[in-house]
Amino acid sequence: MATHRHYYQPSAAMHMPSKAPVPASMYPVSRLPGSPPDYSDASTTAGSRSSGGLTFSSAGGDYDYSSSASYSGVDVVDVLNDRMQNSFDPTPLDRGMAKQAQTSGHLNAKQQELLELQALAQRRLKGVRANFNEGLKTARETKRDLEWTQKRVSALKSKAEKAHPEEYRRAAKKYTYDEY
């Protein structure tokens, strides 16, 4: 005999929640009631595992995890925070941060000093350029004056040679100058 099975088929599409990741802020850290695990001096005990002095017992498999009577009033975050503070020494980090701040201060001071020296060098360079340009101007004027004087002396010399040739020759023998 053939049996027919009938399955329920919905007539309309059902809305399914998306599988998109949910931001962590959607699940705030909650405070769990309970007491911290017992401390043990023994590293191992029969039927239990020990980790860093905390004993997590695996014996007694019929434990009712839903009852929170033994964990009432304990803040797990505070317990973990206290343990972290007791096991972590921030002194080397504090020293490192102090050294970093000190080095950063020295670096900033040297950077400021370099900027001031650069500004001073720029001012001095500007002054030197002004002095150099003034010196070039003076040198050009002096050259122009010397050229004018040389032309004037040459003109007077040729005029004196033409006007008084005999006296000029005797004076030239007595006071000979090499011409440039």
List, for residues 154-166, the tens digit of each pLDDT value: 999 899 899 999 9
DSSP string, 144-165: HHHHHHHHHHHHHHHHHHHH-H
pLDDT of residue 121: 97
List, for residues 164-175, the tens digit of each pLDDT value: 999 988 888 888
- How many Å separate Cα 14 from the centre of its chain? 55
Whether residue 25 lies inside any domain: the answer is no
Whether residue 131 lies inside any domain: the answer is yes
Whether residue 40 lies inside any domain: the answer is no
pLDDT of residue 16: 56
72-79 contacts, C-beta under 8 A, 24 or more apart: 72/33, 72/34, 73/33, 74/32, 74/33, 74/34, 74/35, 74/36, 75/31, 76/31, 76/32, 76/34, 76/36, 77/29, 77/31, 79/36
End-to-end CA distance of the chain: 141
pTM exceeding the 0.75 threshold for the entire prediction: no
Confidence of residue 46 (pLDDT cuts 50, 70, 90): very low
The domain total for the chain is 1
Whether residue 111 lies inside any domain: the answer is yes
List, for residues 104-146, the tens digit of each pLDDT value: 999 999 999 999 999 999 999 999 999 999 999 999 999 999 9
**DSSP assignment letter at 39:** B
Sign of CA dihedral 64, 70, 73, 75: negative
Task: State the pairing for strand pair 48-51/54-57.
Answer: antiparallel
Whether residue 49 lies inside any domain: the answer is no
Rounded Cα distance between 94 and 171, Å, is 96
The HSE-up count of residue 43 (CA atoms within 13 Å, CB side) is 0
Whether residue 8 lies inside any domain: the answer is no
List, for residues 80-102, the tens digit of each pLDDT value: 888 888 887 878 889 999 999 99
Whether residue 30 lies inside any domain: the answer is no
Dihedral in degrees, nearest 10, Cα atoms 45, 49, 51, 52: -10
Whether residue 154 lies inside any domain: the answer is yes
Q: Tell me the residue range of the domain where 165 lies.
A: 92-174
